[in-house]
């Protein structure tokens, strides 16, 4: 039994015009007392029917909120697991690049190995520092 009220207005000032919109929603499950009196005059059994419907509506809202919390929890767990796996794979890639750099140095490609390894270390440090800050 939601009732909404929408108010639009234009606010003019010396800095320019602005459009302001206000939306107020009355989301009570039962109508007001005056409306209940009028309804009871029309149909004496309407109050009991409204109470039953209100109870059903409230139970539905509670169930909906529980489902939303379950969905949010599931989403957070999946995101956390994905981030954890991504961090592990990036660390494995970092170690792999360092091993390749060591092979370059071992086979007399010292400049290439040093550049490759240094770039890997700097990139890895930047990545892990950003992850730790988050």
| Count of C-beta atoms within a 10 Å radius of residue 120 | 19
Residues in the chain: 134
Check if the beta carbon of residue 31 is closer than 8 Å to that of residue 39: yes
Non-local (6+) Cβ contacts of 124 within 8 A are 90, 94
Other residues' Cβ atoms within 10 Å of the Cβ of residue 38: 12
Task: Compute the half-sphere exposure of residue 72: CA atoms within 13 Å on the CB side of its CA.
Answer: 6
pLDDT (0 to 100) of residue 116: 80
Burial class (CB in 10 A: 0-12, 13-18, 19+), 101: buried
| pLDDT tens per residue across span 71-110 | 999 999 999 898 888 888 888 888 888 888 888 888 888 8
Q: How many CB atoms lie within 10 A of CB 133?
A: 6
What local confidence, expressed as pLDDT, does residue 21 receive?
83
Q: Collapsing DSSP states into helix, strand and coil, what is residue 43? A: coil
pLDDT at res. 76: 93
Q: What is the pLDDT of residue 94?
A: 83
pLDDT at 2: 59
d(CA 59, CA 41): 28
Question: What are the residue ranges in the chain where pLDDT is below 50?
Answer: none
> How high is the pLDDT of residue 13?
81
Taking the C-alpha atoms of residue 94 and residue 109, their distance in angstroms, rounded to an integer, is 20
User: Could you tell me the residue ranges of all domains in the chain?
Assistant: 3-133
SS3 assignment, position 57: helix
């Amino acid at each position: 039994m939601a009732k909404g009220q929408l108010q639009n207005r234009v606010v003019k000032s010396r800095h320019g015009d602005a459009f302001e919109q206000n939306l107020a929603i009355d989301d009570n499950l039962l109508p007001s007392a005056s409306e209940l009196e009028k309804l009871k005059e029309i149909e004496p059994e309407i109050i009991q029917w409204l109470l039953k419907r209100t109870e059903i509506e409230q139970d539905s809202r509670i169930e909906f909120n529980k489902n939303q919390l379950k969905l949010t929890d599931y989403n957070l767990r999946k995101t956390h697991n994905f981030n954890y796996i991504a961090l592990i794979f990036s660390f494995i890639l970092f170690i792999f690049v360092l091993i390749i750099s060591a092979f370059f140095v071992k086979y007399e490609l010292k400049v290439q190995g040093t550049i490759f390894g240094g770039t890997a270390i700097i990139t890895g440090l930047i990545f892990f520092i950003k992850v730790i800050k988050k």
